[in-house]
Every structure is written in structure tokens, then in C-alpha cells.
Chain A
Amino acid sequence: MPESLPPFLIFYVVALLALPARGILRAGLMLLAPVLGAWCVWQAPEGSHGVLQVLEFELTLHRVDRLATLFGYLFNLAAFIAFVYALHVRDRVEQTASILYAGSALGAVYAGDLITLFLFWEMLALTSVFLVWARRTDRAYRSGMRYLIIQILSGLLLLGGVIAHAATGNSLAFDYIGLESVASWLILLAFGIKCAFPFMHNWLTDAYPESTPTGTVFLSAFTTKVAVYALARAFPGTELLVYVGATMATFPIFFAVIENDLRRVLAYSLINQVGFMVVGIGIGTALAINGAVSHAFNDVIFKGLLFMSMGAVLYRTGKINGSELGGLYKTMPKTTVLCIVGAASISAFPLFSGFVSKSMVMSAALANDFHIVWLLLLFASAGVFHHAGIKIPYFAFFAHDSGIRTQEAPTNMLVAMSLAAALCITIGVFPDFLYRLLPYDTGYNPYDATHVLAQTQLLFFSALAFAWLNLRGMYPPELPSTNLDADWLYRRLAPSVIGLTASRVARWDTEMRASGRLVLVRAAQLVNRHHSPGGFLARTWSTGSAVFWVVAILAIYLLLFAVGDGMALR
């Protein structure tokens, strides 16, 4: 059945083949995987293929429909761009992990049942953590550990949810689930962790900036988008998601404004963009779902482009903090221009890709009377321009001259970034390329005068605010710092509560042992005193006194017997 080869299989086989290969052969193999993968996506007929019978379960490895096909193309495209970007890498662990990671994302997208989904869900966690560890610093190691624990937790919740879901007589098919039972809440929670819902988002802002320049590009593309895909499939139209998504779109922009590590700024803006997608899924109409998944498509590319440009900066200068950078446009002009294209796309400037997808979610929010959510999203749109659109290029490439003189990014990085930038502009100018792949046909047209003018006004006056604040010296300077977020709860509060409890318990334990020992010592002393020569029990007793005691005991016995008997008679 060659016409229905699941794309993940290609990646897994290539990972195996590339392991002993080296140099050009390995690079060629890695680039071949997404090309073959895309071909698989293109020619796979709709329906369920690759059905396996394992014990009494029927696993569907390759379920093809419009939604899966869209993400199938997306992940192959993202993998191809990221492989080009990472062509200079000579790290077997990182390369193997990246191929397996991309393959696992494809596996999850084509999973037709919840067990298969769970398997790839865990594979995503296991493979991606090596991309964090590939940085080979103590910080990255610890961060990767926290990342892995949280990702595995998500997997366990999913497994628990799936078991409970099946136990209540539901089918194991990976389709609409909806929020009805405890099982579905568990599944939503599992998706929510990977999707970086508020309070479950810090694994992302913690681990992504600690990975290698190339590793972060892979990380930003897959995990959260698989979660968005899973939500779109299982929970469309769940109103709760509208509010969760609106929160995700707004709160990270505050953190992004004061964050110093520019890749962490991008991590916060990743959550902000996923927020727009989650709102779209929550609204659940055809237009909203189209908006959510097309925004996921565009986000992978423009966020990848931004992470690639910052990766190039880190690769060339060894620095990524806004407080240490500046003036790099002088020596990295091509990276600067490419970064600005990514910035314009994420900010949803007309003619750039973000505009044609984000506007669908906004229109859907208005059309379905989520007015406050619409205002929040509008604020988030302005804010995203502020921190990702202006702050990233401004502090890295312009601002005050840091005095760093470096060289342009390596050719392979420039090629990868140019590919992504070309896609951003192509999709922005000809949105029909993307719209044709969407699950629904809504006939939506983003380019009407009202909409273009409104968005341009919003963005220009956001930029005006930035310019004004900067010229007045009111803009917060980039400072080397750590900003507390929800991870404080498990990195600071929980360990100290546990530490405090443990020390209390330890003290109590010591006291108990000490008093126990004292009792034993006292008892030993007592026994010693009475049994030692001259002690009460060691004395020689006369026969007469012994007889007296025997008689006394007999008397007591008789008395007790009589009393017992008397009571029985009564």
C-alpha cells in the first residue's frame, strides 16, 4: 500500500539511516525527508489508512482529511526550512532528535485514534527535550528536566483521560470530544499544557530560550501547533476556550515588554499568537476555525523566521540579551531585513501573512458577539506589534550601538530565512494559496478598504506610542533580570514549602527519637537497679514470706472467682 505511507514513517526511517551517515550524505537525507513527506501528504487519498490491530485495539496511523493535510504540509514545510537552517550543525544528538521530533509531530497529526495520538504525544516530549539539552549547559539541563516533567505530565493526563473516555463507552476515535465528562476535562488539560494555557505556560518560556540557536527553531514549530490541531479536532466551539485564548493573547505581552532575553520575548509572543488560535477554536464557526488553523500555519513560518534571525544573532555574537545587543544592522544587514519581514508578518501588516489569517479570528469574534474579547484581541494585536514587531528588531539591530562588529549569518541560515520570508510575503499578497487548503470554504476576503485602513492605523499609532515613549525616555530600558512568572510557584514556592515541611518533620523526628531513647535508658537503669547485687529483686527471700505471697495470690484468685460466679448466677 505505497499510496498511503504515513509521513512520520519517512522521518523515523531517515533518522535511522542518517545516524551512521556523515557530512553531505546526512544533510541530503535530512532534506529528503520533508520532500518525500510532502509528496506523501499530496498524494494520500482521504480516509483511514494504515490500520493496525494491536491486541483488541484498532490503531489508525494514517487518517487523512483536509485538516490533517493542512498540518501535514505545514510540518513538512517547517521541517524543510529548519533543516536548511541547521545544515551547519554537526551534532548527532541534536540532528537525530530534530528528525524524530518533526516525524512525531506528523504522526500526531495523522493519528486517527486516541491511543496513537498518545504515543506520538509522548514521542514529541521525549525527542524534543534533547533539543533543549543539546545546548549542553547546566542551565539548559535543568530547564530541560523541568520541560520533560511537565510534558510527560501532559501525556499522563492524556492517557488517564483516554482510558476514562473509553471506559465510559466512548469510541477511541480521535474526533470531536467536547467538554462533557471528567474524562474530557482530563484530555483538555493535557492539550492545554502543550498549548501553554495560562499557568501551564512556563515550560515554554523556560525551555525554548535555553535551547541551541537551531533547536529553538524546531521547538517553536511543532509542540504548540500539534496542541492547536488537537484542540481544533476535539474541542471546536467550546466557549471556555474563547476566554482562555483571550487571556493567552493579552497577558504575555506585558512580560514580553520587560523581558531582556530576546528569544524569551519571542517565546512570550508565541503564547500570545497561540491565544488567537485558541479563541478561534473556541468560537468554532467555519470562519473562526479557518482563522485558527491558517494562523497556526502562518505563525509557524513567521515565528520560525523571527527565531531564526535571533538564532543567527546568538550564533554570531554569542549574546541574546537586549541589554547587550544593538547596532547589528551595520554588520548583519541581510538578517536585519529578514527579521523585519518576520516582524511585519507577526504584526499583521497588510500584504504580510499574519494579516490574512488573524483578521479571520477577529472578524469571527465580532460576528459572534464576543465584543470584549474582540477589544482584548485588538489590544493584543497592538501589543504584539509593540514587543515582537518593534522591540525585537529595534533592540537587536538598532537602538544604541553595542560596539559589536560581527559578520553576516552563514549562507544556509540566510537561505532558510529567505525561504520563510518569501512565504510570509507570498501568502500575504496571494492569500488564496493558503485559503485553498483550509478545512472550510468561506469566501473570506481580507483586503477590503475598511479592514486595511483600520489595521494600518492601529499599527502606525502603536509605533507612534513606541517612538513617543522612547524619545521621552519613558520606555523601560532593557535590564539584565529575571521576571517572576507562574513558574515561581514550582521553582521557588513549592521547593521552599517542601523544604520547610521536611525540616519540621526532621526536627520532630529527632525529638521523638531522643525522648524514646531517654525512656529506654530510664527503663534499663530501673532494671539494672533492681537486679544488680543488693537490688530489690536480687535479694534472698525467706521461705515463710514466699508462702505468704502464694497464699495471698490464692486468696485473690478465689475472691475473683466468687465475684465472677455471683455475677453469672444473677
Chain B
Amino acid sequence: MKDEKTYFFDRPENVRRLLRVFYGACIVLAALDFVIHRHVYHPWENLWLFYPIYGFVGCVLLVLVAKWMRTFLMRDESYYEDLERSRTDALGDSRDA
């Protein structure tokens, strides 16, 4: 059952184009920081590019920490089911005995 139709993101140049527009938007937004005078409530908001940097660094940290959490939190998909099964099996055994 081969899908003969080619969809928008099947073309790598479309993906590249989208990414280029996105990068452009990021640059414009960062540049606006130097143009628009903002009224601030928190001293850190005065720092140049506070929001872009906070957003970027925050998200990278979020992903890296979450990835690290996998090393000790991740179990098999049927982790709890297996536990429950072994428990009911044990119960069945003791009843049989």
C-alpha cells in the first residue's frame, strides 16, 4: 500500500525554507530588544536579551535534565502490569497450596 502522493514536508527544501523563516523571525525578535523601550518590573529584565536567553537556556536544560532523569526513572512499558501479574500469581499459588 504505497502512498504515491508527496506531501508538503516530504520535500526537504520545504523544511529548510520553514526553518529559515523561523530563524529570521528569531533574529528580528532579538533585534527588537534594542529598539523597543520596555518598562520593567524586575532588574533582570533590563539585561539585554534576557527573555530569549532565558527561554533558550531554560529549554535546553529542561531537555537535558529530563533525559538524565530517564536513567533512573525509566522502566519497561509493562512494569506495573508485570508486578501486578506476579503478585496475583503468588496469591494464586498460596491459595492452591
Seen from chain A, the residues whose Cβ lies within 8 Å of a Cβ on chain B are 139, 142, 253-255, 257-258, 260, 329-330, 363, 366-367, 371, 374, 378-379, 382-383, 386, 398, 401, 405, 449-450, 453-469, 474-476, 479-485, 491-492, 495, 499
Please tell me if the beta carbons of B59 and A383 are within 8 angstroms of each other in the complex. yes
B69 interfacial contact with A, CB 8 Å: yes
A461, B36: Cβ atoms closer than 8 Å? no
A458 and B80 alpha carbons, distance in the complex (Å) = 38
**Nearest CB in chain A: distance from B96 CB, A:** 16
Asked whether, in the complex, the Cβ of B70 is within 8 Å of the Cβ of A254, the reply is: no
Interface check B47, CB cutoff 8 A: no
| A462 and B87 contact, Cβ closer than 8 Å, known pairs A254-B69, A476-B63, A483-B73 | no
| Closest residue on chain B to residue A458 by CB atoms | B55
Contact in complex: B81, A457 (CB < 8 Å):
no
B89 at the interface (CB under 8 A from A): no
Point out the residues of chain B lying under 8 angstroms from A484, CB to CB.
73-75
Q: How far is the CA of A340 from the CA of B70 in the complex (A)?
A: 28
Count chain B CB atoms within 10 A of each CB in A371, A459, A462, A468 and give the residue with the most. A462
The main secondary structure of chain B at its interface with chain A is helix
Contact B60 A461 (CB under 8 A): no
Cβ contact within 8 Å between B55 and A366: no
Report A-chain residues with C-beta under 8 Å of the C-beta of B80: 482, 491-492
The answer on a CB contact under 8 Å between B38 and A453 is: yes
Q: Which of A450, A462, A468, A499 contacts B36 (CB 8 A)?
A: A450
Cβ-neighbour of A367 out of B7, B39, B41 (below 8 A): B41
How many residue pairs link A and B with beta carbons under 8 A? The number is 160
- A463 contact set on B, CB distance < 8 A: 22
* A463 to B, closest residue via Cβ: B22
A469 to chain B, nearest CB (A): 6
Separation of A560 and B83 alpha carbons in the complex (Å) = 70
Q: Mark B3-30, 1 if CB is under 8 A from A, else 0.
A: 1010111100000000100110110011
**Cα distance A492–B79 in the bound complex, in angstroms:** 10
Cross-chain pairs A/B with CB under 8 angstroms, 24 sampled: A139-B81, A254-B62, A260-B77, A330-B3, A378-B54, A378-B58, A383-B58, A383-B62, A386-B59, A386-B63, A450-B38, A454-B51, A457-B33, A460-B52, A461-B55, A464-B55, A467-B19, A474-B67, A482-B77, A483-B74, A483-B75, A485-B73, A491-B83, A495-B87
| Contact between A458 and B52, CB atoms less than 8 A apart | yes
The A-contacting residues of B in range 38-60, CB under 8 angstroms, are: 38-42, 45, 49, 51-60
A contact residues around B93 at 8 Å (CB): none
Which chain B residue shows the least CB distance to A401?
B10
A481 near B62 with CB under 8 A, answer: no
A residues near B69, Cβ cutoff 8 Å: 254-255, 258, 483
Specify which chain A residues have a CB less than 8 angstroms from the CB of B79 in the assembled complex: 482
Write out the residue numbers on chain B whose beta carbons fall within 8 Å of the beta carbon of A460. Answer: 22, 25-26, 29, 52, 55
Q: Pick the contact of B51 from A457, A469, A480 — CB < 8 Å? A: A457
Return chain A residues, CB-CB under 8 Å to B30.
457
Contact: A461 with B84, CB < 8 Å?
Answer: no
Whether B22 and A461, one on each chain, are in contact in the complex, defined by CB atoms closer than 8 angstroms, is no
Instruction: List B contacts of A367 (CB < 8 A).
Output: 41
Complex-state Cα separation, A329 to B7, whole angstroms? 9
B56 with A330: CB separation less than 8 A:
no
Residue of A whose beta carbon sits closest to that of B5: A330
Query: Shortest Cβ distance from B52 into chain A, in angstroms?
Result: 4
The answer to whether B1 and A405 touch across the interface, beta carbons within 8 angstroms, is yes
Residues of chain B with a CB closer than 8 A to A481's CB: 70, 74-77
Contact yes or no, A461 B51, CB < 8 A? yes
Interface size class of B (residues with CB under 8 A): 35 or more
Closest residue of chain A to B15 (Cβ to Cβ) is A398
List, in ascending order, chain B residues with CB within 8 A of A142's CB.
84
Contact of A257 among B7, B38, B57, B62 (CB under 8 A): B62
Chain A residues in 8 Å Cβ range of B53: 461
When A379-B58, A460-B26, A482-B77 are in contact, do A476 and B66 touch as well, CB less than 8 Å?
yes
Set of chain A residues within 8 Å of B57, measured between Cβ atoms:
465
The 4 closest A-B pairs by CB, nearest first: A465-B59, A257-B66, A461-B55, A450-B38
Contact A458 B74, beta carbon cutoff 8 Å: no
Contacting residues, chain B, for A495 (C-beta < 8 A):
83, 87
Q: Write the nearest CB–CB distance from A102 to chain B, whole angstroms.
A: 31
Cα(A460)–Cα(B36), bound, Å? 17
Chain A residues, CB < 8 A from B9: 329, 398
B56 in contact with A254 (CB, 8 Å): no
Cα A468 to Cα B19 in complex, Å, equals: 11
Which residues on B sit within 8 Å (CB–CB) of A329?
A: 7-9
Chain B residue contacts of A366, Cβ below 8 A: 41-42
Query: Taking CB as reference atom, which chain B residue is nearest A451?
Result: B38
Taking a contact as CB atoms under 8 Å apart, the answer to whether B55 and A254 are in contact is no
Residue of A nearest to B84 (CB): A142
Which residues of the other chain, B, contact A456 by a CB distance below 8 angstroms? Answer: 29
- Nearest CB of B to A468, in Å: 8
Residue from the list A465, A480, A492 in contact with B56, Cβ < 8 A? A465
Closest to A250 in B: B62
Scoring A366, A458, A485, A491 by chain B CB atoms within 10 A of each residue's CB, the highest score goes to: A458
Q: What chain B residues lie within 8 Å of A139 (beta carbons)?
A: 81
State the Cβ distance, A107 to closest chain B Cβ, in Å: 34
Q: Are B67 and A457 in contact (CB under 8 A)?
A: no
When distances are taken between beta carbons in the complex, the residues of chain B under 8 Å from A468 are: 60
Known contacts A329-B8, A379-B54, A464-B55; can you find 19 more A-B pairs with CB under 8 A? A142-B84, A254-B65, A257-B63, A257-B67, A330-B3, A330-B7, A383-B58, A457-B29, A457-B32, A457-B33, A457-B51, A460-B22, A461-B26, A462-B59, A464-B26, A479-B70, A481-B76, A482-B77, A483-B75
Pair A458/B38 contact, Cβ less than 8 Å: no
A209 to chain B, nearest CB (A): 13
Contact of B70 among A371, A475, A476 (CB under 8 A): A476
Residues of B close to A465: CB separation below 8 A: 55-60, 63
Chain B residues whose CB sits within 8 angstroms of the CB of A491 once the complex forms: 80, 83
Q: Which of chain A's residues have a CB closer than 8 A to the CB of B73?
A: 258, 483-485
Assembled-state Cα–Cα distance A462/B76 (Å): 30
CB atoms of B7 and A466 under 8 A apart: no
